Amino acid sequence: MFGSVATSTHSIDDYVPIVGDDAVAALRELAEPLRGIRVLHLSSPGASGAVRNLLQSSVPLLTDLGIEAHWQQVRVSSEFQEMDHQLRLALSGYAVDWPAKLANAWWLFNQSNAGLFDEEFDVVVVHHTGSVGLHAALTQMNGRPPAGAWLWDSHRDYRAAHPDAWSLIRRHADDFDVSIYDYKPFIRPDAPTRRKVVIPPGVDPLGPRSRQVSEEVRETILAQRGVDVTRPLVAQIVLSTRDDDPLRVLETYELAKRERPDLQLVVAYLLSGPGQGESVDALRTRGRKLGDVVVLGEMDGVGNVEVCAVRDQAAVLLHQGLPRGISIELLEEMWQSKPVVSSKSSVAEAVLTQHRTGILADTPAEQATAVLRLLASPAVGRRIGAAAHRRIAEHYLVTRYLADYLKLFQQVLHRTPERRR
- In whole angstroms, give the CA distance from residue 182 to residue 152: 12
Average pLDDT along the chain: 92
Task: Mean pLDDT check: name the lowest of 117-131, 179-193, 272-286, 306-320.
Answer: 272-286
Q: Which of helix, strand or coil describes residue 18?
A: helix
In this structure, how many other beta carbons lie within 10 angstroms of the beta carbon of residue 96? Answer: 17
Contact by Cβ (8 Å): 232, 266? no
Q: What is the pTM of this model?
A: 0.93
Q: What is the pLDDT of residues 90-103, one digit of tens each?
A: 998 888 899 999 99
Domains of the chain, with CATH numbers? 3-202+397-419 (3.40.50.2000), 215-395 (3.40.50.2000)
In this structure, how many other beta carbons lie within 10 angstroms of the beta carbon of residue 191? Answer: 16
Strand 178-181, strand 195-198: pairing: parallel
Using only the alpha carbons of the chain, give its radius of gyration.
22
pLDDT computed for residue 240 by the predictor? 65
Task: Mean pLDDT check: name the lowest of 16-30, 103-117, 266-280, 369-383.
Answer: 266-280
Could you give phi then psi for residue 114, rounded to 5 degrees?
Answer: -60, -35
pLDDT computed for residue 421 by the predictor? 44
In this structure, how many other beta carbons lie within 10 angstroms of the beta carbon of residue 75? Answer: 14
In this structure, how many other beta carbons lie within 10 angstroms of the beta carbon of residue 72? Answer: 17
Q: What is the pLDDT of residues 294-312, one digit of tens each?
A: 999 877 878 889 999 999 9
Highest mean pLDDT among 110-114, 154-158, 211-215, 237-241: 110-114
Task: Mean pLDDT check: name the lowest of 72-81, 301-310, 392-401.
Answer: 301-310
- In whole angstroms, give the CA distance from residue 206 to residue 399: 11
- In whole angstroms, give the CA distance from residue 157 to residue 413: 28
